Amino acid sequence: MFGAVLRRQGLLRTSALRSGFMPLARYYASFPPHTVVKMPALSPTMTAGNIGAWQKKPGDTIAPGEVLVEIETDKAQMDFEFQEEGVIAKILKEAGEKDVPVGNPIAVLVEEGTDIAPFENFTLADAGGDAAASAPKEEKKSDAQSDAASAPAPTPAPEPEQYTHEGRLEPALDREPNITPAAKRLAKEKGIPISSLKGTGPGGKITEEDVKKATTTAGPVASPTASYEDTPLSNMRKTIARRLQESVRENPHFFVSSQISVTKLLKLRQALNGSSEGKYKLSVNDFLIKAIAVASKKVPAANSSWTGDAIRQYNTVDVSVAVATPNGLITPIVAGVEARGLESISAKVKELAKKARENKLKPEEFQGGTISISNMGMNPAVDNFTAVINPPQAAILAVGTTKKVAIPSEDGTGVEWDDVITVTGSFDHKVVDGAVGAEWIKEFKKVVENPLELLL
């Protein structure tokens, strides 16, 4: 039996290294052998996450590759695909829990065939308790040498004692109220002190219904100002705010605008879609993404980024496409656009946009990119706008809606209508000089107004 346990511990450690987190195997006198599943780091910058919908419940079996729970990171909402097999014995963090630090216990796993009944009373304290959020990697790197010099040599962790209790004694006044996690969140949202609530659940536990009753009986609060409603910030919204603030503060933007005729492009698009036999449906944005690649190959200085001690010029054009989702703006990447045809670009954009709106993007599908596009052309009220650069990139193209304008006819005897769009390039002046930004816009305008070049 002990041989089997040791083999399983070895497998857990090997799997942990592959999956980016270390599950904690512990054995207690009152509980069968089990593994504590911890909050994983699903992106390089993630230090904490929000618990979404659990895809497994206590008693369910799970196999490698199956989704255990949805987790909202600082970048997006992602599926946590588990890499072990077993049975879920206990869920320690309910759906909706906010800012759970990486490494904190979230569930308990046992081997198939193990009785999970003893785990009904399993608590976070039994799993080691909550830990503080880990510090960003940059801080760890700067302190590495001093820590290495001052820290004593590591010693093997002692085996868990079978008959000792590691919990702490608490005075009654300091003890956490007997309240469900959902009720606790609701009370915080409504601004109701937990100490004022009376529980009607089993053993006097405070439930959501108790909080709702307290909300209705409290009556409206008089306010001298206008009424309002606060929306809690998601991790994704916090990240968007932080990155945009950094971009505006640290990247000296300059803007170059141009009015571009798209009459020929619209005719070419109509012809190609008409002959596609339903295999594809090209959008104007697909043509513009391809045009970005053409202009970037002719003026590669715009397809660059700032690294702090160098300007990095990219050999491929990976276009980040701004997509609006219910949770905020995200920029999935169409990689290698210079080598793709219009049909390939169109299919990839549709695939990424669908995954973005369903919160199914993988980190490699939205982290990176060399240049960006933000298109508001679907809104007829937007003639033009300026976009904020997506660091560390040095350029983003903002596209307005299509307008009809009168221009002189070719024979000069009258006027004719031309379809035009206004585009504005935002450039980082640390990387791109004004003349270079203007030259890039010139090459972009040239290829859009002669769209047959996009087919070469």
Interstrand relation of 415-428 and 403-408 (parallel, antiparallel or unpaired): antiparallel
How far apart are alpha carbons 397 and 378 in whole angstroms?
Answer: 15
Name the pLDDT band for 421 (thresholds 50, 70, 90): very high
Interval 60-78: pLDDT, tens: 998 888 888 888 877 677 8
pLDDT computed for residue 20 by the predictor: 43
Q: Which long-range contacts (CB under 8 A, 24 or more apart) does 376-385 make?
A: 376/400, 376/401, 377/284, 377/285, 377/401, 377/402, 377/421, 383/422, 384/257, 384/422, 384/423, 384/424, 385/424
Dihedral (Cα; 70, 73, 78, 81), 10-degree rounding: -70
Question: Residues with Cβ < 8 Å from 194, sequence gap 6 or more?
Answer: 177, 179, 184, 187, 206
Alpha-carbon span 313 to 316, nearest angstrom: 9
**Among the ranges 21-30, 96-105, 151-160, 214-223, which has the highest mean pLDDT value?**
96-105
Residues 6+ apart with CB under 8 A from 278: none
pLDDT band at 354; cut points 50, 70, 90: very high
Letter for the amino acid at 449? E
- What are the distances in angstroms from CA 270 to CA 144, 275, 398? 60, 9, 23
Q: Mean of the per-residue pLDDT values for the chain?
A: 81
Predicted local confidence at residue 371, as pLDDT: 98
Mean pLDDT of 9-26: 42
**Residue 378 or residue 137, greater confidence:** 378
Sorting pLDDT into bands at 50, 70 and 90, what band is 363?
A: confident
At residue 418, the pLDDT reads 95
- The pLDDT assigned to 205 comes to 79
**Region 10-39: what's the mean pLDDT?**
57
Which is more confident, 155 or 6?
155
Structural contact between residues 288 and 319, judged by C-beta atoms closer than 8 angstroms: no
- In 3D space, the residue among 45, 34, 70 whose CA is nearest the CA of residue 55 turns out to be 70
- Highest-confidence range of 151-160, 261-270, 360-369, by mean pLDDT? 261-270
The pTM (predicted TM-score) of the whole model is 0.61
Quick one: average pLDDT of 301-310? 94
Tokens of 353: 């946009």
pLDDT band for position 388 (50/70/90)?
very high
The confidence score (pLDDT) of residue 454 equals 92
pLDDT more than 70, % of the chain: 81
> Nearest-CA neighbor of 398 among 380, 418, 372?
372
Mean pLDDT score, 425-451 = 97
Q: Which two tokens stand for residue 456?
A: 């070469």
398 vs 389: CA distance, rounded Å: 10
The Cβ of residue 51 has, within 10 Å, a number of other Cβ atoms equal to: 24
Supply 413's token pair.
């005897």
What is the average pLDDT across 363-392?
Answer: 94
**Predicted pLDDT of residue 342:** 96
